[in-house]
Structure 1
């Protein structure tokens, strides 16, 4: 990509860095095309910052910038469809925080509203990531809501489970179910329960100087946002990598951008990624606690198996994988599928689940080390939630009390 600054020495003069620790060290600019391509794989598309490409424009931020005269941006945490999340040091409280900088539009205000409902109505929020404070940024004739959160650890990605003990994994499953129960008791449906929205805790870093933080989390690799005429400086930055030594076993549920009070007719439209979305929602059924329970069981399966329970590579995508494992969808759902690529055989009641790929076979394949009693308990738990009809799925409270679920948790000391 031509025309992009590729070294710290060529950074524009407009970059004014804080002199914290007496050293203006805020990472490294990409040096060559290979580093640019590597960076492109892990950062948000530059189009997120272009008013020509989207009406929900991202706010440009650079490492070393101080936001709201208080938060020194030190690294990048990640991004989503409507926000970028930055690691910052609170200069007033001397604590590290996460800044969720929302895109322009209504998403930020909706998240504030639902977060307030959660804080006011959920009795136990100890495993829910709720905001500490909020402020607004103005620029480019747009307003951007910023939510300040506690700094969390890594999200649940299958790769992170490699080498992680089953005790830690099942503890996470239990903590997440408890968090979901508390949310549901307050009448709130999450609607976007995915591995990216579940995260472990992280040991505090605020006593470390910036160099030590970068040694632990990786130095920011960055480039000036290309191809867009921005009103202020901004950077694309490679996110942190949290080492296992810093991860704690506390597990949390966050990102309530799609959450809603059950029965609220003004909720935000949207779906979780298809591999976490219940089949009924993909057939125009209304959001419900049961939809969250399907998503939870996908995450439970990832934690237990180390892999997603249903493949996505078959023709027709995730639903073909679900049908291969569980059998045909209800016949009355035919014609209601709300995504392209639906297949008639999904609803053929003469089809059966594939015995080589049903739940029992899937569990045996991924967990050959587990004894038959344990595998039977896991299959029982999955079967009680992986129902096509929402009303047949166990609730969070029921699953926490289920004998098979309790047997699994007891085995791993949870």
Structure 2
């Protein structure tokens, strides 16, 4: 795709005359939206690019719905009028973050052997922003955003298939020495069918939106993030969000990972992200898919450390005094004081969350979990090893994955 730098849209009506099945009442509908957690100051600061439903970007992509937002971008469902298909547009904040992710996408496409389970861009362009800044836009395949806690309502077989597909995707990155560094529920995306606009709005609901105000440099709307019905979620899974990917062995200033329930413990003790820390995060996702909820909790402080110790036992003594937060306890590292909590350890999770499982299945699942939840990264199983692990393969066979 030829890269263009598009000048700012003049203040006024965002809607393009090329609606392609969008009705005027959809474009004009204004409603009090329920999700106001999106940081509005990012629009005021010129970080988020203001968008309206129905707006057409670069004369080609008509905005249809809001898929999500994060620290460095907003993501929109759009219709590609040139190729007559739905896509996702990830509009980055100005600066190096967007350019880094764009370059990392290019690197992955050029070097990863199998990208079939990776969300890689199909093109890119630049939009002119506030004060002469430019926003990098990545054109991505349209996929279902993270299901988060709703994933528990999917059949267990579907969730186990997702765990295996995710491991294949991660192994393809690790095979060329790339550390994802930000593996969590938000990076896991699901296949979804595509329909025409009228049918999509029947399934997804019309965009709920509010005018952002006359003070912005460009007209825009705060649009409530779409919720995809589980009936529309397909069985194929993809790994995305490559804005923090690094080569293994790279030192970074911020060691810890948020959200903390997916952060490897060595990263909260001053270690850099690594292939092994990715595997801890993967195992957290595996457990969430298997049990239907996260196995660890906390905000990176004493609750996080206690969560690890109560389920896995004391942490290595050589880590004592290195925990990044002042909320830590000496007995996290003491064999004689701290022991497993029999009511909260991993084995007890089966009684609480999967009472239907046989003892044979519990033994297989516990074997997999303990190989990934080894405190010492050098003892943690790799993605390639786990794909060939007898316990993992037997567990997947139980669910015909």
TM-score by length of 1: 0.89
Match of 1:330 among 299, 310, 316: 316
**Cα distance, 1:224–1:398 mapped onto 2, change above 3 Å:** same
How far off its partner does 1:340 sit? 4.7
**C-alpha separation between the residues in 2 aligned to 1:349 and 1:396?**
30
How far off its partner does 1:154 sit? 3.7
**Cα distance, 1:402–1:217 mapped onto 2, change above 3 Å:** same
How far off its partner does 1:267 sit? 8.9
Which segments of 5 or more consecutive residues in structure 2 lack a partner in the other structure?
Answer: 1-10
Which segments of 5 or more consecutive residues in structure 1 lack a partner in the other structure?
Answer: 1-11
**Cα distance, 1:411–1:247 mapped onto 2, change above 3 Å:** same
Aligned residues of 2:177 and 2:248 also touching (Cα < 8 A)? yes
Aligned to 1:16: 15
Paired residues, number: 388
Match of 1:39 among 35, 38, 56: 35
Please list, as runs of the form range in 1=range in 2, the aligned pairs for 1:100-139 lying within 5 A after superposition. 100-139=90-129
Aligned residues of 1:72 and 1:88 also touching (Cα < 8 A)? yes
Aligned residues of 2:260 and 2:299 also touching (Cα < 8 A)? no
Aligned residues of 2:35 and 2:225 also touching (Cα < 8 A)? no
Q: Tell whether 2:217 aligns with 1:231.
A: yes
Please list, as runs of the form range in 1=range in 2, the aligned pairs for 1:82-97 lying within 5 A after superposition. 82-97=72-87
Q: Tell whether 2:247 aligns with 1:261.
A: yes
Match of 2:61 among 64, 68, 71: 71
Q: Tell whether 2:199 aligns with 1:212.
A: yes
**Cα distance, 1:268–1:343 mapped onto 2, change above 3 Å:** closer
Aligned residues of 1:258 and 1:269 also touching (Cα < 8 A)? no
**C-alpha separation between the residues in 2 aligned to 1:312 and 1:264?**
27
**Runs of 4 or more consecutive aligned structure 1 residues displaced over 6 Å after TM superposition:** 266-270
How far off its partner does 1:243 sit? 1.9
How far off its partner does 1:315 sit? 7.5
Aligned to 2:295: 309
Aligned residues of 2:51 and 2:220 also touching (Cα < 8 A)? yes
Q: Which shifted more, 144-153 or 344-353?
A: 344-353
**Cα distance, 1:359–1:188 mapped onto 2, change above 3 Å:** same
Q: For residue 234 of structure 2, give the secondary structure of its aligned residue in structure 1.
A: strand
**Cα distance, 1:371–1:22 mapped onto 2, change above 3 Å:** closer
Q: Deviations over 1:1-53 (max 9, x none)?
A: xxxxxxxxxxx95333433237334456554xxx34x2314xx12111122xx
Aligned to 1:3: none
Q: For residue 236 of structure 2, give the secondary structure of its aligned residue in structure 1.
A: strand
Aligned to 1:375: 362
Aligned to 1:300: 286
**C-alpha separation between the residues in 1 aligned to 2:110 and 2:254?**
20
Aligned to 2:5: none
**C-alpha separation between the residues in 2 aligned to 1:354 and 1:266?**
35
Q: For residue 51 of structure 2, give the secondary structure of its aligned residue in structure 1.
A: coil
How far off its partner does 1:102 sit? 0.4
**Cα distance, 1:373–1:105 mapped onto 2, change above 3 Å:** same
Q: Deviations over 1:88-141 (max 9, x none)?
A: 000101010000000122110110111111111110000000000001111212
Q: Tell whether 2:35 aligns with 1:48.
A: no
How far off its partner does 1:218 sit? 1.4
**C-alpha separation between the residues in 2 aligned to 1:62 and 1:366?**
43
Aligned residues of 1:284 and 1:337 also touching (Cα < 8 A)? yes
Aligned residues of 1:217 and 1:243 also touching (Cα < 8 A)? yes
Q: For residue 129 of structure 1, give the secondary structure of its aligned residue in structure 2.
A: coil
